[in-house]
Amino acid sequence: MALQLAKAAGAHVTAVDNASKIAWLKELGADETIDYRAQDFAGTGRQWSRILDMVATRGPARIAGCLTTGGVYRAVGGSVSVLLSLLIGGLAYRSAKKSIGMLMVPSGPDLTERIAQAAVDGRISPLLEAVLPLSSVPEALRRTGSGEVKGKLVIKP
């Protein structure tokens, strides 16, 4: 969904995921892709103005090198130790005009209405891989944790 929202806003998107999802990400609109198992985006020497990291694994020093001046990095998930290092250690990069922290998603009817309208207008499309029975939770968690899931899995009791 983040990729679709970024493209709808006119962004040039570099998507980072495992090789099994590269073609799918390109179909969704990614301009460039990086297979994280083959190459660490933080080691490419490239810089981005915005980075959304769904599973943070790098500390603030590594991330700061990937950001342009005025760049923003936000982590959505990751281990507690990495997330804390980003929140605390990220403060050191403010003087370099680099913002490093966690994504705190606002909620409420205005945001819901804007996202729903984007879907109605065809600018984004919710991606549902499967609806599964409650008995499938262990397998769904395993697949999600290993990076196999494309889109969302819904568990139906």
| Same domain (yes/no): 118, 74 | yes
Residue 97: closest CA among 74, 75, 67, 76: 67
The pLDDT tens digits for 89-129 are 999 999 999 999 999 887 889 988 988 998 899 888 888 89
- Mean residue pLDDT across the chain: 93
Please check whether residues 35 and 104 belong to one and the same domain.
no
Entry pTM: 0.81
77 in the same domain as 27: no
**Cα–Cα distance measured from residue 51 to residue 47, given in angstroms and rounded to the nearest whole number:** 9
Q: What is the pLDDT of residue 17?
A: 94
143-156 pLDDT tens trace = 988 888 998 899 99
**pLDDT tens-digit profile of 2-59?**
899 899 899 999 999 999 999 999 999 999 999 999 999 999 999 999 999 999 999 9
80 and 102 inside one domain: yes
Q: How many domains does the chain have?
A: 3
d(CA 36, CA 43): 11
Q: How far apart are CA 95 and CA 65, in angstroms?
A: 14
| Closest among 96, 54, 47 to 78, alpha carbons compared | 54
Q: How far is CA 65 from the centre of its chain?
A: 18
Name residue 157's amino acid. Answer: P
Q: What local confidence, expressed as pLDDT, does residue 106 receive?
A: 79
**Residues 137 and 106 grouped into a single domain:** no
Based on the fold, state whether residues 59 and 118 are members of the same structural domain: yes
- What domain range is 150 assigned to? 127-157
